[in-house]
């Protein structure tokens, strides 16, 4: 019994030293937080966070109103143009359409402003809740910081750098001294690429642009006539398999950095708050450049039948291939769709092996 009492006293003293006292309030809540549970630094940080959130909401309100007013002005211009060109379209009809549009956009702006004002009031209320429990405020504050950065970008007078996803696929083969497109089967030769692409405008009208990014690309090539690239040798050569196969595909996976200079048309759009945006839309564009990167893996996939059984065999990284890859790239297209052609300047295999460089062409979405 004495030991039990001694242990209980030690445990009680330990929790007392940490200052963790459970408080029971009159409403039978198990725990509550005091108003002074936050120190001065935390309160100031909370205050600044809420101020930034409210400022971001105010900017969002102004941004939406500016966008709507600009759209309304563009539609009124179109009404005036129609009035000049369409004999059956009277001035009274034009005035009626203008008034209807003005009322519609005024309602949009008012509804949006009411929604933002509600969010501002909710943010102020949440500040008071945060004074009793800082965890809620910190979490929501961090989330709002991300949105704040996005809003800041929308408010920039001009955006010169954009980003997006790029996807390309097409036909691929190897070219060399004694190697060409006729040496490859047409069914199992392919090229695939995807990744993130950034574009930075180089001219004031954004018709001259620079593309760059990070891409994964895969070259697939299958020799015809029952031939393969010889694995596990000091010099990779073309050799006969010696038996019938359903598939004998050589593939390399690479990580590259594309660098391209692009020329193309743009449409300029000016907002009444001073912002300027250039939209490429469905304009024609063309680009030329190159790429540099590294080869990550090489493999040969064999598929054949033996004694009535289907056999699949993969030989990985058993070839004397070059690690550094580089080459040229050019394309032409409209909007987000382009036709491309690209050629590796590096040899697929090291010196002493079969002479071969990749040539690829196809379609790309960017």
Instruction: Give the per-residue pLDDT at 38.
Output: 52
Domain boundary among 154, 175, 201: 154
Neighbours of 15 (CB within 10 A): 11
Residue 7 in any domain: the answer is no
Within-domain flag for 25:
no
Please report whether residue 351 resides in a domain.
yes
Among the listed residues 230, 224, 229, 226, the one whose alpha carbon sits nearest the alpha carbon of residue 242: 226
In angstroms, rounded to a whole number, what is the distance separating the alpha carbons of residues 275 and 159? 9
If asked whether residues 195 and 123 sit together in one domain, one would say: no
Same domain, 128 and 274: no
Instruction: Decide if 12 is inside a domain.
Output: no
**Helical H runs in 90-249?**
91-130, 134-154
H-helix or E-strand spanning residue 346: none
Both 112 and 178 in one domain: the answer is: no
Q: Which of 154, 187, 214 is the last residue of a domain?
A: 154
Q: Are 244 and 227 in contact (CB under 8 A)?
A: no
Q: Are residues 312 and 241 in the same domain?
A: yes
Residues 209 and 245 in one domain: yes
Contacts 24+ apart (CB under 8 A), 137-144: 137/46, 137/49, 137/50, 138/46, 141/46, 141/49, 141/50, 141/53, 144/49, 144/52, 144/53, 144/56
pLDDT at 145: 45
pTM of the predicted model, to two decimals?
A: 0.63
> What whole-number distance in Å separates Cα of residue 232 and Cα of residue 271?
64
Q: In which domain, by residue range, is 41 found?
A: 35-154
Decide: 336 and 166 in contact? Cβ < 8 Å: no
Is the same domain home to 63 and 173?
no
Please tell me whether residues 150 and 193 are part of one structural domain.
no
Query: In which residue ranges of the chain is pLDDT below 50?
Result: 1-37, 131-148
DSSP annotation of 30:
S
Contact of 210 with 200, CB cutoff 8 Å: yes
**Is residue 283 situated within a structural domain?**
yes
Residues in the chain: 366
Same domain, 165 and 149: no
The dihedrals phi and psi of 159, each to the nearest 5 degrees, come to -110, 120
Cβ atoms of residues 365 and 215 within 8 Å: no
Do 257 and 130 share a structural domain? Answer: no
Establish if 212 belongs to a structural domain. yes
Boundary-marking domain end, from 109, 124, 154: 154
Sign of the C-alpha dihedral computed for residues 65, 68, 74 and 75 taken in this order? negative
CB–CB of 314/302 below 8 Å?
Answer: yes
Q: Does 220 lie in the same domain as 201?
A: yes
Task: Please indicate, yes or no, whether residues 103 and 228 belong to a single structural domain of this protein.
Answer: no
The verdict on residue 309 lying in a domain is: yes
Structure tokens at 357: 């460089």
* Phi, psi angles (nearest 5°) of residue 184: -120, 145
Same-domain check for residues 232 and 316: yes
The pLDDT of residue 144 is 41
| Residue 3 within any structural domain of the chain | no
Name every residue whose Cβ is closer than 8 Å to that of residue 30 and which is 6 or more positions away in sequence.
Answer: 22, 24
Q: Which residues touch 21 (CB under 8 Å, ≥6 apart)?
A: none
For the chain, the domain total comes to: 2
């Amino acid at each position: 019994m004495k030991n039990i009492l001694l242990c209980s006293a030690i445990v009680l003293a330990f929790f007392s030293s940490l200052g963790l006292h459970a408080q029971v309030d009159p409403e039978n809540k198990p725990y509550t937080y005091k108003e002074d549970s936050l120190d001065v630094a935390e309160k100031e940080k909370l205050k600044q966070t809420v101020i930034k959130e409210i400022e971001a909401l105010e900017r969002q309100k102004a941004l939406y109103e500016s966008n709507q007013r600009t759209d309304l002005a563009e539609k009124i211009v179109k009404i005036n143009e129609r009035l000049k060109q369409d004999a059956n379209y009277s001035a009274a009809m034009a005035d009626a359409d203008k008034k209807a549009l003005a009322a519609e956009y005024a309602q949009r702006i008012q509804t949006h402003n009411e929604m933002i004002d509600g969010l501002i009031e909710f943010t102020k209320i949440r500040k008071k809740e945060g004074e009793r429990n800082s965890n809620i405020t910190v979490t929501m504050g961090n989330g709002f910081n991300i949105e704040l950065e996005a809003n800041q970008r929308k408010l920039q007078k001009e955006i010169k750098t954009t980003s997006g996803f790029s996807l390309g696929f097409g036909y691929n083969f190897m070219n060399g001294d004694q190697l060409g497109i006729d040496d490859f089967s047409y069914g199992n030769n392919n090229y695939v690429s995807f990744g993130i692409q950034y574009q930075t405008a180089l001219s004031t009208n954004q018709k001259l642009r620079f593309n760059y990014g990070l891409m994964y690309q895969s070259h697939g090539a299958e020799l015809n006539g029952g031939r393969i690239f010889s694995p596990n040798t000091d010099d990779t050569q073309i050799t006969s398999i010696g038996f019938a196969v359903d598939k004998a595909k050589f593939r390399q996976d690479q990580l590259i950095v594309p660098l391209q200079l692009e020329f193309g048309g743009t449409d300029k759009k000016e907002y009444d708050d001073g912002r300027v945006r250039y939209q490429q839309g469905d304009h024609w564009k063309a680009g030329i450049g190159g790429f540099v990167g590294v080869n990550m893996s090489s493999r040969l996939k064999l598929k054949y039948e033996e004694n009535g059984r289907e056999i699949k065999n993969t030989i990985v990284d058993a070839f004397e291939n070059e690690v550094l890859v580089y080459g040229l790239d050019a394309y032409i297209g409209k909007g987000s769709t382009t036709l491309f052609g690209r050629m590796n300047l590096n040899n697929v295999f090291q010196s002493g092996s079969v002479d071969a460089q990749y040539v690829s062409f196809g379609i790309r979405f960017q």
